[in-house]
Structure formats: structure tokens, C-alpha cells
Amino acid sequence: MIASFDRTSIIANALSWMRARGWHRLLAKRSHFEQSLLEHSLLELDALLELLPTLGLPNHYDFSQQEQEILCVAVLVHDTGKEAPAWQAYVQGKGKKVGHIDLDLTLSVVPEVCAALNLNVNHQHVHELIARCAEFHHNRPARSDGDILAAMFGGATERFQCLAHVVKGIDHLCSASTAADAVRVVRRDAALSNHIKVALHQTKVRGISTVLLHAAAREAFSNHGWKPLLYFKDSTVYVRPAEESEALPPQIQIEQSLRSKIENLLSKDVVGLIIGSPQANILPKPDLVKFEETRSYLRQAANRIGSQSFAKKAMEKRRDVVQKYWVLIGKQTYPSDEEVNSESMNISVAQPEMIVLKAFKALITLCCTSNSAESLAIQLYEQSFGSGSWKHLKSTSTLMPSRDMAELIDPYWILPGTTFGFPAVSRLKQLSEQQRVSALIERLTEIVQGVCTAHGVLSPRTELADKMSSCFVQDLIEPNDASNWQEIAALQEEHYSASKLSAGGLSLKAQYLCPICNQSFSGLSGTKASADFVDKPKSHTNRATSLGSFDSIVICHSCYYEKLLMQLACGEKPQEVIYVIPQLNLGPRHGELLVEKVRAWASAAQLQLSGEGDSSHAFYLNVIQTPARKILDKDPLFLTEAELVSLFMNRISADKQKDRQKKIVVALKEEFDDDLSEVNARSGLTFSSWEEAAVTVLDKSVNLQEFALIRREIFRSANLHLVCETPNLILVPLAREISGVNDESEISKALRKLFIALALGLAFNARVAIKKEGDGLEHGPSAGCAYVAPLPALRALIEAEWIPIPDALMWLRAIGSASLLSRDTKFPERNALFQVLSAAPAEWIVRRIEQASDSGTVTMKQIELIEQLPNFTRRETGGKRL
């Protein structure tokens, strides 16, 4: 019978012991990836604890309680020798090759670890056995006999060899750099393969769809009895007892699971995403349309433009439009200023109706899936708007006030009131603006829904989850029902050569290669990229410009759906995304801990951003002075959850608080029609002034929905979203770019992002990249803690694409110190952060501060900050960076 371990407490205790020893700043692995000694040792302990219930069974190894404890300690200390400075220098390429086996050191830490893990292992010979088991993992076959003999002479049991092989097997499994390698390791190692079966799922890394695909695959594998063992960025290794079936879940089950996850996202309110720009594409995401929601879309369209916006334009511009309008309606005279003003008022008031008609035109086009449906649409439309009106509607394009006024609005306004149920007016023009817009929306909604009902037209959104899941499931590399990689590669090559001619426009017969993900596809499975999805789609690639005209790039459906899904999940188009990924891989329990930690941080941030948090503080990611001040003398890994949450909280100044109060008063008056008694009636309190009510809104002492909405509106700064399902890949999309002053240089912005990435990377013990939405994660291997933006000056300063784990704390402190010094140096704000950080020699900053300050002096605190800068010459390290 196997006694069960309290996995959570063993992992927590192991974490504390390793943190205290500084293993989070030391490396265990470094090649095309990096893993800290803490992460590596913890991963092995985590994997062992997952496997012990199987390995320990009587029909397997039949481990006693003490043997299980021996294994736990042995895997935790197996790489203790790597903490030696000489080995650390070697692994970082700064010293000669040295071994990491140090039996004396391992022996010395074993009693400490036993005590730290609260394990009842006190005998000297057991400690020695643990140390020898730990050492065995690195021995080559010819040398291992020595260890076995030494262990036997030292009083070890005959079980030593078995325990040592399990430690070795676990180490090799967890040291594999990919999931496929891990699976191969287990299958070749009899110490494991006789007892467990392993499988994996692997996917292309795309973004939000990858997060969902990882979750769907995990769900499908779990339903087949597999348990996740190792999480990689692109894959997960699963495990189950050897005697069980090794059947894998079929791809269709993963697809079903993925579809239900996408359906969850689609059930969100997406009305705000449907209507695009009246000047460009009014319906940029037709796939999201649900015809039942037509009324809401048209209302949204009406609100897209103000009824006074045209009237506010300069006289010259208005005159130009009015003149064109007059030509269209057959007036040949030159309008006077008075006439321009009068016509401008009409055009201005008509603009919301113009947008409504544009949105209707796009919706009805979508709805007319057959000729008969179109005939019905024409019939219904002309019944309401008069004969020939359909032709005019179809002939208009993007917003053109003169033409739209002449061809759409004037014919509508002159209709008799009775046609729209207003017998009191002879012409619709006599109605109030609001009544006319509402009547138009109602009639157009009836037409759309009439056509849909009569012809059974399905809304695009009803099929969207199916389409998306069948596209995204093709990203699965393993298990994949039809993966012939040679064929795929040959097809890609063929498409690459053939796609140059057609890269600049959509043609159904053409062959394409997606410029975002390199997938080959035909014109039928492609989408013309619009600015709504891809930044500058017309200048996205230089391919094909020499081969003819270039309109917009064409992207594959998977990339299009990926962009759509991201907007769906966020309810808006995010500007940047924080990616949180494992250093290399994570065990099951530690993976859950990462997910919990990120969720707690993001939820607290969202609570604050929604106005329901602490009203005396605000959450800002773009202000790095505050976290710098809080974090400079600390190691982020030691931050408690509360400290991590409060890292980016800034106290709101008294002036700002007053300003907020004023805004709340305005919002309250608007919400309650300037009637304080209405507020009193709703809240059940007796406020004597609006200011008094505003204080209640701020301090959240009254639980009223209207108050919560006002708070959300007033406190709203940049939204932060969370897409978190499994530890493989976590996304935190940001509504706005992280930036300081408005005209801040790209390099200073990049430094802000790097600081945040470092703080989060160190706190979560993971790799963090902050990138522009759409840039995506790199596909190849990469090593380090935080991603450095590809700006030549920044890369030259940092000398890395990812900041290595051992250097992460140094750079966090350097950027934090530079941010605290930047104000005192009085460099131009847009570039101050970089100028301070790159000052060479850093000691020059003392003079700069003295010259820039009124007192002409520098303080001890500033001296200490300067000492943290990267170009500070440290005499104790021979002038080199720490």
C-alpha cells in the first residue's frame, strides 16, 4: 500500500528551500533553451510525485514509504553540484568545462532537505544512499558499478540499483528539450517503460487558438485516461500505467472539445465588434454576424457618428460637399454661405441614417445567399423606400455625404409619414431625428429578418465555431490523422513559387502561402487581410510588388480566425499581448501553480480596472517608477501574492481624486436626469448633494448597479484580459500599448515593456514576452527570462534577444534605477529612460544630476541607483557587469 504524499506541501517546502539557496538565479540547463536550477529540480520532483502512485504499486516497484522519500530527496538534490560557481561559469560560457558531481556537497545538503520537506529520514546510511542515488544519474554505464559497490559497502539495500535507475530515468525524462524527446527517453529506458506508457500532443504555436487547442487536447487525453506529466510551450507529455491501453484520443474528439471552447467565446456579447469604420469597411467581421441581432448592429451603426460632426467641419470642406450635392440634385447655382450652413445642418443630421443604410447594405448582401433571396430583399426594400431605391442603395460605397444625401436620404425623407406608421406627418423629414432613425432601423431589421426567415438563411456565426475548430485542429502535429510531412513540405514549396504572382490580391484559383504562418492554401481558403486584423495590410510584404499591382495581402483562414478569436475573447482589438510560457517545461502541480498565480494577478488587475478595487489606487502598467521603487531591494520570486498584485498599483493624488469626483457628479446627473431625489429613491439614502452621492460611488458603500457602471466608466484605463487554460501558454492581451509620454521613443517604450516582462518573469518563474498583437511568438528555440524588442540600440546594449536567467535580476534593477533617475537627470522625457540606462560611464550621471538640479547636489539614494546601471564600472568584478 502506498502512503500518499501531500504533494502541495512537499512542492511548497522544496520551493522555499531552493529559493533560500538562490537556485532560481542559477542555471541547470543552457543550450538553445535555459532552465534555472530551481525549475529543473522542482520539475523532477513534480514528475516523480505524479509517477509514484503508479511506480510504487505492488505489481511495479512496490516502493515502501521510506523508499519513496529517498526518491523525493534524491531527485531534488541530484544536481546540487551545479550550484558551484565554477560550473555556473562553465554553463554560461565564461569558464572551463567542469563536472557537476560533488558527492560531499550532495551529502551535506541531504539532511537539510529531509528536514525542509518534513521527511522522517534520519539515518546516516540512508542519507548516504540518497546522495549516491542522486550521483548515479550522471554516471556512464562503465562507471556506475563503483557507485553500486560504494552504496553496498555503505550498508545500502539491494534496492539501491532500482532506486538509482528510477532517479536516472526521471532525470533523463525531465531533461529532454522537447516533448517528442521525452517520449523517446521513456520508451528506451526499461526503468520507466516497463511501468508507464507515454504519449504527447504537439501543436503549431499560433496564439489564442493554441491556448484553446492545448486545453482541448488535454481534455480529450484526460477523457482517455491519460494524465498530463510535462507541459511544454507547444506540447504536453501524458502518462498512464503500462498495463493500460495506449489508445490515443482521435483528432475528432480534440476538435469537438475545441469547438465547445470556441462556442463559449462566441456566446459573449460581440455587438460592439460588428460595425467597422464608415470610411473603410463597415462590416469587417462578417463571420460574427447573427441576423437575429440586426437591430443592435444598426443601432450601433447609428451611434458611430455624431449628428453634429459634419456641421462642425470647416466652411471650405462643407461648401465642397454641398456643391457636389447640389450638382447631383440638379441645382447649378453656387451656394451662398447661408445656404451652405443650412444644407450642412441637414447633411450632418442625416449622417447617422447614412451609416445605418451602409450597415444594412452590408448585412443584406450577406443575407442574400441566393437569387431568390435577393429578389425578396429587393421587393421588400422597394416596397418601403420606393421603386429604384435598391439600385441606389447598391450603387453607394463608403461614406460620401453628398451622394448619400442625394441618393439615399432625400428619397427617404420625402416618403409620406403613413408608410412608416406616422400619419401625423406628411413627410418623414418632419419627424424628430431620433424618431426617424428608429423608424429606419425597425424597417431595415424587418427586411433582413424577413429574407432570413423566408429563405432559411443561417447566420454566419452559427457555423463559425465549426469552421474555426476544423481550421485550428489542423495545427495539431501530434496526434494527427493525416500527417505526411514530406507532402506538406512539397506543397509549401510549390505554393511558395506559385504564390508570388497572386500575393497582392485574392483570386479563387490562385495558390498562396500565408505571410503570417507560412501555411499553403488556395484562394478558396484565404481572406483578404484588412486593417482590422493586420497592421498595414497593403505594405505587409514586399513579395510580388515587382510582379504587378498590389492590393492587400491574403492570409489563410486559420490566421484570420486567430485574429477574430482574439477580438472575441477581448471584446476589442488588443494592442499588445503579454505571453507567459514555461522556461522549458513544467510538471503538473507546478504548472497549476503558475496558472493560479497568473490568474490571481490578472483578476486583481481586472478588479482594479473595473473600479471595484481599492479606490485610492489605480493599476497602471505603463508607470514603472512605482514598481521599481517597490521591487529594487527585493527578489521578485519572494513577493507574496498580495505584493505581486500591488506592484503596479499607484496611489491616486488628491487632485486626481477630486477630478474623478467631478466626473462622477456629471455621470450621476446624466444617469438620473439631473434629479437627486431619483438617486435617493434608488439608493434608499438621503443625499443632500451630488457630491455626497459621488463620495458613495467612490467608496463603494452602496451596492447599486448604476453606481458600479459609473465607477467602471470613470476608473476605466487600459483594459487587461486573460486567456489562460493550461500552463503551456498564457496570454494577457492589453487594450493599449504600454507607453509613457505620448511621443515616447520606441526604445524607451521597449524598456518599459522589458521591465514589466522581467518583473513578471521573475515573479512567475517563467519566460515572459510583451509583443505587439499580431507579432506572435517566435517558432524556433529561444532561451532566457524576458524578451528584448528587436531594436538595434537596445539589442546592442543588452547583447541578447532574451535576457538570460542569471542576468534577469541585474537588468530589472538597472531599468528600475534608470526610471527613478530619469526625472532627476532632466533628459528629454521621450528618451530619458534609455539615455540614463546607456550612459557610459554610468558615473557621469552624478555630474548630470548635479548640473540639472537646482541645489547642484546629488543624494546618497541617487548614488545607490547609479551603482545599479549596466555601465557602472564595478571594480570588484574587474569592471565587468555583474
Partner 1 sequence: MRRPIAVQADPFDIESIQPRLNIIRETFGRFLDSISIKTTLSKHGLMGSVGKILSEIRSGRSDAASLKGYALRVQEQSGSQLSTASIKDLESGIEDLVELFTGVPLAFRDQLIDRLDYGLYFDLRKKNLERKEAIIKQWHSFLLNRYAEIEKLNSAWKENHESLGDVMIQKKATGSRSKDATPKQVDVFEFWESVGKGNETLVIEEE
Contact residues for partner 1 (CB under 8 A)? Answer: 840-841, 843-844, 846-847, 850, 856-860, 863, 866, 873, 875, 878-880
| CB of 573 or CB of 881, closer to partner 1 | 881
Least distance to partner 1, CB of residue 869, Å: 11
Tell me whether residue 456 or residue 856 sits nearer to partner 1 (CB atom): 856
Closest to partner 1 by CB, 89 vs 315, is 89
Q: How many CB atoms lie within 10 A of CB 621?
A: 24
Burial class (CB in 10 A: 0-12, 13-18, 19+), 688: exposed
Q: By C-beta, is 742 or 877 nearer to partner 1? A: 877
Cell representation of residue 318 = 462643407
* Minimal distance, residue 312 CB to partner 1, in Å: 56
Provide the 10 A C-beta neighbour count for residue 33: 20
What minimum distance in Å lies between the beta carbon of 509 and partner 1?
55
For residues 43 and 109, give the distance between their C-alpha atoms in angstroms, rounded to a whole number.
19
CA torsion sign for 609, 611, 613, 614 is positive
Quick one: which H or E segment has residue 15? helix 7-20
Nearer to partner 1, 565 or 849 (CB): 849
Q: Which residue has the cell 487594450?
A: 735
Which stretches of 427-575 are assigned E, i.e. beta strand? 476-478, 511-513, 520-522, 526-528, 554-556
Place of cell 510582379: 547
* Gap between the Cα atoms of 727 and 36, Å rounded: 17
Cβ-based nearer residue to partner 1, 447 or 845: 845
What angle is formed at CA 845 by the lines to CA 752 and CA 874, rounded to 5 degrees? 90
Instruction: Provide, rounded to whole angstroms, the least separation between the CB of residue 560 and partner 1.
Output: 48
Instruction: State the nearest-atom distance from the C-beta of 875 to partner 1, in Å.
Output: 5
- 780 vs 856 by CB, closer to partner 1: 856
Q: What is the four-CA torsion angle of 769, 774, 778, 783, rounded to 10 degrees?
A: 0
Rounded to 5 degrees, φ, ψ at 419 are -60, -25
Q: How far apart, in whole angstroms, are the C-alpha atoms of residue 70 and residue 57?
A: 16
Cβ 442 vs Cβ 450: under 8 Å: no
CA dist 74 to 167, 203, 663, Å? 7, 34, 62
Q: Please, what is the minimum distance in Å from the beta carbon of residue 866 to partner 1?
A: 7
- The stretches of 241-336 forming alpha helices (DSSP H) are 251-266, 271-274, 294-302, 315-328
What are phi and psi for residue 810, nearest 5 degrees? -60, -45
In the block, which residue shows the cell 527613478? 820
Q: Which CB atom, from 540 or from 881, has the smaller least distance to partner 1?
A: 881
> Measured from the CB atom, is 753 or 848 closer to partner 1?
848
Considering the complex, state which of residue 778 and residue 864 has its C-beta at the smaller distance from partner 1. Answer: 864
**How many whole angstroms separate alpha carbon 610 and alpha carbon 619?**
10
CB 853, min distance to partner 1, A: 12
- Smallest separation, CB 817 to partner 1 (Å): 14
Tell me how far the alpha carbon of residue 246 is from its chain's centroid: 34
Least separation in angstroms between residue 877's CB and partner 1 is: 10
Residue position matching grid coordinates 499591382: 549
**Per-residue b/e over 624-662, b at no fewer than 16 CB within 10 Å?**
bebbbebbeeeebbebeeeebbbbbbeebeeeeeeebbe
Kindly tell me which of 334 and 844 has the beta carbon lying closer to partner 1. Answer: 844
Rounded to whole angstroms, the maximal C-alpha distance in the chain is: 114
CB of 788 vs partner 1, minimal distance in Å: 21
Rounded least distance, CB 873 to partner 1, Å: 6
Single-letter code of the amino acid located at 558: S
CB of 841 to partner 1, least distance (A): 5
**Please, what is the minimum distance in Å from the beta carbon of residue 840 to partner 1?**
8
Pick the closer one to partner 1 by CB: 577 or 837.
Answer: 837
State which residue, 674 or 864, has the beta carbon closest to partner 1.
864
Q: Which is nearer to partner 1, 120 or 857 (CB)?
A: 857
How many Å apart are CA 772 and CA 661, to the nearest integer?
34
| Least Cβ distance, residue 786 to partner 1 (angstroms) | 24
Q: Using the structure block, give the residue that is written with the C-alpha cell 443650412.
A: 342
